[in-house]
């Protein structure tokens, strides 16, 4: 039986790519010097595509692959995949939920603690040789996280997993989303500005895309205030990035801990010089164990599709 041809948009974890090479004929788009020519050369053969949540697959590429049947994404977010174009053509789309839920939630808490206790800044302080025992220039005191109020934006799987961690630190949880949910033990707030004004930490775990673009506005940041901290493990598009930079610069927002950006991999250069920001390179799910499980699920979805046209984790 002829092996299905797969377009691999970007590199994935080595174990996943090795498994794909064993089962499929893989065409590596990111290695192509002439992208248009490369797509034209494989267009009549490619039946599947693998990508990441950040890279996605746009309508232009989808339109150039007339035999495309399935898109398997390495990640939860699908805002970079043109789902409308896929639905119009009956193309199956899968992602990798569940296997990264706890990992991202753990990392959100790590970011919150790193910001509150200024762990990266203290690390740099020691590395610079500034740590002294003579009573001079002692490292400044930081903020307690225990017992504080947390607002979660988007109480999906990751948001709920993060909320379950908060009682260990005695944190009070409230949340915001487009509508209340049944069976949720946390207080629902139907206005994001109001939620921001009531909490010490605002943690973003919502989905990206047009529905949430710019959701965290200048007004939200102002409400969070000079003693507040924004933590973002969702999507950079959720935050008005210019307003965020301005609020951090003028002190109207106390601090931020950020793993995602509006134009990845380009983080706003203004953030680099700020001492009240913890910045990370979109690595909330970035452990060997979780990325390995994500990669395996991408491969398993492709295998399942070409075996019986069913996806293990279809995107609705």
Which entry of 27, 47, 118, 235 is annotated as an active-site residue?
235
Q: How confident is the model at residue 114 (pLDDT cuts 50, 70, 90)?
A: very high
Query: Which candidate in 27, 47, 118, 282 is catalytic?
Result: 282
Three-state secondary structure string covering 93-120: EECCCCCCHHHHHHHHHHHHHHHHCCHH
Verify whether residue 27 is a known catalytic residue. no
The pLDDT value recorded for residue 74 is 97
Structural contact between residues 79 and 52, judged by C-beta atoms closer than 8 angstroms: no
> In sequence order, what are the beta bridge partners of 49?
7, 71
Per-residue pLDDT tens digits for 285-314: 999 999 999 999 999 999 999 999 999 999
Mean pLDDT of the chain: 96
For residues 108 and 63, give the distance between their C-alpha atoms in angstroms, rounded to a whole number: 37
Convert 57-93 to b/e letters by CB count within 10 Å (16 or more is b). beeebbeebeebbbbbbbbbbbbbbbbebbeeeebbb
Contact between 86 and 44 under an 8 Å Cβ cutoff? The reply is: no
Q: Mark whether 264 is an active-site residue.
A: yes
Q: Choose the catalytic residue: 117, 194, 264, 303.
A: 264
Q: Is 101-279 the same fold as 5-99+289-308?
A: yes
Pair 109, 159: CB distance under 8 Å: no
How far apart are alpha carbons 133 and 192 in whole angstroms? 45
Class of domain 5-99+289-308 (CATH, top level): alpha beta
> Which CATH topology does 101-279 take?
Rossmann fold (3.40.50)
Q: What are the structure tokens assigned to 290, written together?
A: 């979780």
Residue 277 in tokens: 């920001």
Q: Is the pLDDT of residue 89 over 70?
A: yes
* 19-34 pLDDT per residue, tens: 999 999 999 999 999 9
Nearest 10 degrees: CA dihedral of 54, 60, 65, 69?
50
Structure-block tokens of residue 311: 């996806």
- In the prediction, which pLDDT does 1 show? 64
Predicted TM-score (pTM) of this structure: 0.92
Is 282 a residue of the active site? yes
> In this predicted structure, what is the pLDDT of residue 176?
98
Domain ranges of the chain: 5-99+289-308, 101-279
Question: What average pLDDT does range 81-103 have in this prediction?
Answer: 97
In this prediction, residues 234-255 reach a mean pLDDT of: 98
């Amino acid at each position: 039986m002829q092996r299905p041809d797969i377009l691999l948009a970007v590199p994935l974890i080595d174990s996943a790519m090795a498994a794909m090479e064993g089962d499929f004929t893989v065409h590596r788009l990111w290695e192509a010097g002439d992208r248009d020519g490369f797509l034209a050369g494989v267009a009549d053969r490619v039946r599947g595509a693998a990508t990441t949540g950040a890279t996605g697959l746009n309508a232009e590429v989808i339109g150039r692959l007339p035999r495309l049947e399935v898109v398997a994404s390495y990640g939860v977010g699908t805002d970079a995949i043109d789902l409308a174009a896929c639905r119009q053509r009956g193309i199956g789309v899968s992602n990798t939920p569940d296997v990264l839920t706890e990992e991202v939630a753990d990392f959100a808490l790590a970011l919150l603690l790193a910001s509150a206790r200024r762990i990266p800044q203290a690390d740099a302080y020691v590395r610079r040789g500034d740590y002294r025992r003579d009573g001079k220039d002692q490292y400044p005191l930081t903020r307690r996280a225990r017992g504080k109020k947390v607002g979660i934006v988007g109480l999906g799987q990751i948001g709920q997993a993060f909320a379950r961690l908060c009682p260990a630190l005695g944190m009070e949880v409230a949340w915001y989303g487009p509508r209340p949910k049944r069976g949720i033990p946390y207080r629902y707030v139907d206005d994001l500005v109001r939620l921001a004004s009531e909490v010490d930490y605002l943690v973003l775990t919502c989905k990206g895309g047009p529905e949430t673009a710019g959701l965290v506005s200048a007004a939200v940041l102002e409400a969070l205030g000079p003693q507040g901290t924004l933590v973002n493990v969702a999507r950079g598009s959720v935050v008005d990035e210019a307003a965020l930079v301005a609020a951090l610069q003028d002190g109207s927002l106390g601090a931020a801990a950020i793993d995602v950006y509006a134009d990845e991999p380009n983080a706003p250069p203004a953030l680099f010089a700020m001492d009240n920001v913890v910045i990370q390179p979109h690595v909330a799910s970035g452990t060997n164990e979780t990325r390995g499980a994500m990669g395996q699920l991408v491969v398993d979805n492709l295998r399942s599709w070409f075996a019986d046209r069913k996806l293990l984790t279809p995107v609705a």
